[in-house]
């Protein structure tokens, strides 16, 4: 179901390691942003520490024998490998965490595709470390720096480490917790806003929010739907879990009658059943590549998780062909709204 959209940066990173492996310092190795690939055998044998916050990739790595964790706060490593995300503040945070984890005399090596922030990566690592070495391979840049007594820059390191933590966005009633690198991390995306505008206040019972991100839809439901008794957020990106939890905690103090939980989970692999309502703004791409099968997987999972008289609400780009599958999995399907290139889909009574 899930796959890396472009493994050029991964191949470039291990091209460098294969060529320079004999000259790298001995000791523990840390891989931040580790993704499945042919490199895994060496990591298993060497006991590498691997971080992967995206649940499908973490599960795949675990199936290959890697103890991939959503967060690894290591210290004293000899080599830190980094595959940073495209969002620049999130990339800076990951580079800073790699620098903090690496001992003096150790090396930080990062790679990014030429169209995915390679130039910014090299510039940022130069700002942090002072001097770097860079190579081009597989349409990517591999950038490396040695950690020393005065490298990285302490002030900049502290600034970038702060980017790795949840932050408050906005003011007053519209404020929420988020984190750089999440989808629409500093705003309410228009598709989710359209879906929220169509959700009736009469929604009630147990609700599941699939691909919940930092929790916007669940926050709206807690404010607008007094009949809700429980709400579960399911999100594959572990970086969203703490912001979502904080957002729900703030509202659940006003709704002590509602049981709220946040789950780090790959929805395409299934979820518990017994829900009265499912809401979702499902993903439809991996990296830059369109992947409408993700939305179809969310629809199938939602249908299996709902009670016989349950209902599901989805929002999607207008061109995505979800209607046929919805008609196959539900007895009633309508399109309550279409606006600005998005459509809201409402499905009732899943077929068994």
3-class SS letters over the chain: CCCCCCCHHHHHHHHHHHHHHHHCCCCCEEEECCCCCCCHHHHHHHCCEEECCEHHHHHHHHHCCCCCECCCCCCCEEEEEECCCCCHHHHHHHHHHHHHHEEEEEEEEEEEECCCCHHHHHHHHHHHHCCCEEEEECCEEEEEEECECCECCHHHHHHHHHCCCCEEECCHHHCEEECCCCCCCCCCCHHHHHHHHHCCCCCEEEEEEECCCCCHHHHHHHHHCCEEEEEEEEECEHHHHHHHHHHHHHHHCCCCCCEEEEEECCHHHCCCCCEEEEEECCCCEECCEECCHHHHHHHHHHHHHEEEEEEEEEEEECCCCCHHHHHHHEEEEEEEEEECCEEEEEEEEECC
Residues of the chain above pLDDT 90, percent? 83
Same domain, 338 and 192: yes
> Is pLDDT of 1 > 50?
no
Same domain, 254 and 181: yes
pLDDT, one tens digit per residue, over 230-241 is 999 999 999 999
pLDDT, one tens digit per residue, over 310-352 is 999 999 999 888 999 999 999 999 999 999 999 999 999 999 8
The domain boundary residue, chosen from 123, 140, 162: 162
- Predicted TM-score (pTM) of this structure: 0.92
> Is pLDDT of 3 > 50?
no
Same domain, 148 and 264: no
Same domain, 332 and 275: yes
Same domain, 332 and 194: yes
Same domain, 133 and 32: yes
Please count the structural domains in the chain: 2
Domain assignment present for 1? no
The domain boundary residue, chosen from 147, 162, 177: 162
Same domain, 239 and 108: no
Q: What would the two tokens of residue 159 be?
A: 């600034």
CATH code (residue 18): 3.40.50.150
pLDDT, one tens digit per residue, over 18-66 is 887 658 899 999 999 999 988 888 777 678 999 999 999 999 999 999 9
Same domain, 317 and 228: yes
Average pLDDT, the chain: 93
The domain boundary residue, chosen from 162, 195, 230: 162
Same domain, 40 and 117: yes
Same domain, 328 and 231: yes
The range of the structural domain enclosing residue 105 comes to 8-162
Same domain, 138 and 175: no
Q: What is the pLDDT of residue 5?
A: 42
């Amino acid at each position: 179901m899930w796959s890396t959209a472009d493994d050029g940066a991964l191949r470039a990173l291990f091209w460098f390691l294969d060529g320079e492996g004999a000259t790298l310092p001995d000791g523990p190795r840390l891989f931040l942003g580790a993704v499945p690939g042919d490199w895994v055998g060496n990591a298993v044998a060497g006991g590498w520490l691997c971080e992967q916050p995206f649940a499908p990739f973490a599960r795949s790595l675990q199936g290959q024998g890697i103890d991939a964790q959503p967060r690894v706060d290591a210290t004293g490593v000899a080599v830190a490998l980094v595959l940073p995300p495209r969002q620049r503040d999130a990339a800076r945070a990951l580079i800073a965490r790699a620098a903090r984890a690496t001992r003096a005399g150790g090396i930080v090596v990062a790679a990014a595709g030429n169209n995915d922030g390679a130039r910014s990566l090299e510039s940022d690592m130069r700002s942090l470390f002072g001097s770097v070495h860079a190579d081009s391979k597989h349409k990517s840049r591999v950038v490396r720096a040695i950690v020393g007594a005065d490298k990285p820059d302490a002030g900049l390191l502290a600034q970038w480490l702060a980017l790795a933590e949840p932050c408050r966005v906005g003011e007053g009633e519209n404020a929420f917790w988020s984190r750089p690198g999440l989808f629409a991390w500093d705003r309410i995306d228009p598709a989710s806003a359209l879906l929220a505008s169509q959700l009736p206040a009469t929604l009630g019972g147990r609700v599941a929010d699939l691909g919940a991100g930092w929790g916007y839809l669940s926050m709206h439901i807690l404010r607008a739907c007094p009949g809700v008794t429980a709400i579960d957020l399911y999100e594959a990106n572990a970086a969203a879990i703490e912001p979502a939890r904080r957002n729900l905690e703030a509202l659940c103090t006003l709704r002590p009658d509602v049981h709220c939980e946040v789950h780090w989970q790959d929805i395409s692999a299934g979820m518990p059943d017994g829900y009265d309502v499912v809401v979702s703004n499902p993903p439809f791409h991996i990296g830059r590549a369109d992947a409408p099968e993700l939305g179809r997987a969310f629809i199938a999972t939602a249908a299996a998780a709902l009670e016989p008289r349950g209902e599901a609400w989805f929002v999607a780009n207008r061109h995505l062909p979800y209607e046929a599958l919805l008609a196959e999995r539900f007895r009633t399907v309508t399109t309550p709204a279409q606006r600005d290139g998005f459509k809201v889909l409402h499905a009732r009574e899943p077929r068994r």
